[in-house]
Amino acid sequence: LTVLTSVDQVREAKVMGCALVPTMGALHEGHLSLVSKAKRRNESVGVSIFVNPTQFGVGEDFSKYPRNFDRDCQMLEEAGADWVFAPQTEEIYPRASTQISVPIVTELYEGKLRPGHFEGVATIVLKLFQICGPAQAIFGLKDLQQCAVIKRMVEDLNVPVNLHFEETVREWDGLAKSSRNVYLSSSQRAIASKFYLALQHCGQGLTNGENVPGTISKAVQSLESEGFSVDYIDLIDFPTFHPTATLGDFNAIIGAIRLGTTRLIDNLLLFPPQNMP
């Protein structure tokens, strides 16, 4: 595993045409599955590790976000990644920078509840694309709105990269793997899988023709009665990422909940990801 820590080192390593997996580190099997999918698509697979300050809001977990670079590198080596790019914040943001803002798909949900988050995400992803010049970039469907944002940005700005969105890797009980799961206490962890179960239950109800608002509010109520704070559960429509009251061709059930101070997001896609409009 080649460790690259500056933009110059990336230029010298001539990684153009690679497959890139952007991450914030604290790697788990979800990230590693993206690496192995990337390996099937490209000879050279690189992973960026950068806890991007601009996508964290005031009062969010930027300073306590888990960081373990040595362990991450060991995992990447075992997963067969060729190189890792871990830049310094000062090199990425030497001054207040140009921001990418993607309309419509960022209006609601994470975009609304975390103002500035997707501007931070879109900007760092475009910078990583400019620095590394990947032919392919691989993202996890776990962060579904992020996938929609990046897809729209790449189309709108004619960025010459092929995007691939890969399935969410889950714990044995269905909880989506996340770097933030380490924040859960053992009693919170014990009930956390009910979040995804609720999304699945909604999905079954809706595909059986149940009414959309009723099914969603039942799911919200049942999670709240278990001790979850529900930020939202909704049926959304692609490509707008806005709510819909009827099932169409391109829908997903999305959710965000809090257990204590830990916030988790998850979703259930109701169509094959390669068809994402």
Closest separation between CB of residue 45 and ligand AMP, Å?
Answer: 14
Question: How many amino acids of this chain bind ligand AMP (CB under 6 A)?
Answer: 16
Cβ contact 158:183 at 8 Å: no
Closest separation between CB of residue 204 and ligand AMP, Å?
Answer: 22
Q: Return the structure tokens found at 7.
A: 């933009």
Q: Which of 177, 189, 201, 218 binds ligand AMP (CB under 6 A)?
A: 177
Q: What span, in angstroms and rounded, lies between the C-alpha atoms of 28 and 84?
A: 15
Q: Identify residues 29-58 at the interface with ligand AMP (CB under 6 A).
A: 30-31, 33-34
Q: How far is CA 269 from CA 77, 110, 154, 184, 257, in A?
A: 31, 17, 21, 25, 18
Q: Return the structure tokens found at 257.
A: 């909940």
Cβ neighbour number for residue 123 with a 10 Å cutoff: 21
Largest CA distance in the chain: 57
Does the protein bind ligand AMP through residue 142 (CB under 6 A)? Answer: yes
**Nearer residue to ligand AMP within complex by CB, 24 or 220:** 24
Angle between helices 117-132 and 144-156 (to 10 degrees): 60
Closest separation between CB of residue 12 and ligand AMP, Å?
Answer: 25
**Nearer residue to ligand AMP within complex by CB, 192 or 212:** 192
CA-wise closest residue to 149 among 114, 200, 175, 198: 114
Does the protein bind ligand AMP through residue 143 (CB under 6 A)? Answer: yes
Q: Would you call 164 a catalytic residue per the annotation?
A: no
Q: Which of 140, 203, 205, 255 binds ligand AMP (CB under 6 A)?
A: 140
Catalytic residue among 31, 117, 164, 242: 31
Query: Site residues (CB under 6 A) for ligand AMP?
Result: 23-24, 30-31, 33-34, 139-140, 142-143, 168-169, 176-179
Q: Which residues are known to be catalytic? A: 31
